[in-house]
Amino acid sequence: MKKQKKRFVLAEATVDEINKQLKVNMFVIVVLVFMLFLNIVQFMNSYSLLIGGLIIVGVILLFVMAKSRTLLNMRKQTLTQ
């Protein structure tokens, strides 16, 4: 029997696993952009400090997700060459 991995490890990933992670990554980025847009609209209506904090957290998470996407793409390029 083949033992299943507990988590995704980029150094040991195959091209199929990286493609799956890229799809998940794109879905998370779309959800983050949608939530960020809704928070910006809410902030424009109420000027709440809490909503402003959520916008900052959303931008930071979007930056981290974009960096992880570039890492996944670089690893995919090295595996396909």
Residue 16 lies in a domain: no
Residue 79 lies in a domain: no
Q: Which residues of 37-58 are buried (b: 16+ CB within 10 A; e: fewer)?
A: eebeeebeeeeeeebeebbeeb
Q: Assess whether pLDDT exceeds 90 at residue 14.
A: no
Query: By the 8 A CB rule, do 28 and 65 touch?
Result: yes
Residue 60 lies in a domain: yes
**Residue 8 confidence (pLDDT):** 75
Q: Assess whether pLDDT exceeds 90 at residue 33.
A: yes
Domain that holds residue 30: 23-72
What is the average pLDDT score of the chain? 90
Residue 15 lies in a domain: no
Question: What is the SS3 assignment for 73?
Answer: helix
Residue 4 lies in a domain: no
**Residue 1 confidence (pLDDT):** 57
Number of domains in the chain: 1
Q: What is the pTM of this model?
A: 0.82
Residue 52 lies in a domain: yes
**Mean pLDDT over residues 69-77, rounded?**
93
Residue 48 lies in a domain: yes
Residue 31 lies in a domain: yes
Q: Assess whether pLDDT exceeds 90 at residue 31.
A: yes
